[in-house]
Amino acid sequence: MTHSLQSCTTLHNGVRMPWLGLGVWKMNNDAEVVSAVRAALDAGYRSIDTAAIYKNETGVGQALRESGIAREEVFVTTKIWNDDQGYDKTLAAYDASLERLGLAYVDLLLIHWPGTDKYADTWRALEKLYADGRVKAIGVSNFHVRHLEELKKHSDLVPMVNQVEYHPLLAQRELLAYCRENRIQLEAWSPLMQGNLDHEALRSIGAKYGKSPAQVVLRWDIQHGVVTIPKSVTPARIAENANVFDFELSGDEMALIDDLNRDHRFGSDPEKFLF
């Protein structure tokens, strides 16, 4: 299942999504994002996570074209930003994202944040794009169980993915269990705790396998059945983060990392990030 960088999970609609991809938040829409995406594709990555708000979709598209890799071999995710929520605005925002990316479709389109009262309408627009065959899969981001339960009342189509902050300090056990039960693939943002990797447990486990704390965390994600999208602009780290398919953490080691949980967020709390 998880033998190489091209290993995929199968979403509940049958679409295959790589277990590991490159996140491009905070990369500038110029040489920086182009060179990072190129380095990732050269290292074998086949999944890129961007968003309209990152303002680097143009650079992502440029890197994809320059790589010469066939479009259907790369899984591209983008997201509908908060200001674009609502049925009509979402449809227009998707067209604008495609235009910037220079692509005919994305593989996964997400609602970036639930906000308060517009996400059901936004979801209807995603369903329309999906029904029309304009996007391969649709999902949400930063949704708690209560948001997912609310969506259920408005739609038969269960999101294929929920992308949330997830790492050893924020293990999201209840949400992970709910997503598993409902066949929603959980995806980890800020998997590397935004670089705050200085934990003895991660170091000592890594030493046993000749792996870095970052590699231990990314392996922990995958063994929990969570898709992961580490960000780096550094070619050596881009390669390092992908080199997690040749070792396996034991049950005890997984439990030791689970024990680091403090329900600590480095990013915003969806319950407080309202608009």
Which positions are catalytic?
Answer: 54
- Phi, psi dihedrals of residue 179, rounded to the nearest 5°: -65, -40
Residue 102 or 195: which CB sits closer to ligand NDP? 195
Q: What is the DSSP string of 69-114?
A: --GGGSEEEEEE-GGG-SHHHHHHHHHHHHHHHT-S-EEEEEES--
Name the residues that contact ligand NDP, by CB under 6 A. 23-25, 49, 112, 141-142, 163, 189-195, 197, 212, 214, 229-234, 237, 240-241, 267
Look at the block and give the residue holding tokens 């409902």.
182
CA nearest neighbour of 147 among 112, 103, 193, 107: 112
Residue 98 or 110: which CB sits closer to ligand NDP? 110
Q: How far is the CB of 9 from ligand NDP (least distance, A)?
A: 17
Residue 90 or 212: which CB sits closer to ligand NDP? 212
Question: Is the CA virtual torsion 112, 114, 117, 123 positive or negative?
Answer: positive
Per DSSP, the three-state class of 274 is: coil
Count of positions (residues) in the chain: 275
Q: How far is the CB of 129 from ligand NDP (least distance, A)?
A: 19
Residue 136 or 237: which CB sits closer to ligand NDP? 237
DSSP letter (8 states) at residue 240:
H
Q: How far is the CB of 143 from ligand NDP (least distance, A)?
A: 10
Nearest-angstrom CA–CA distance, 191 and 172: 12
Q: How far is the CB of 217 from ligand NDP (least distance, A)?
A: 9
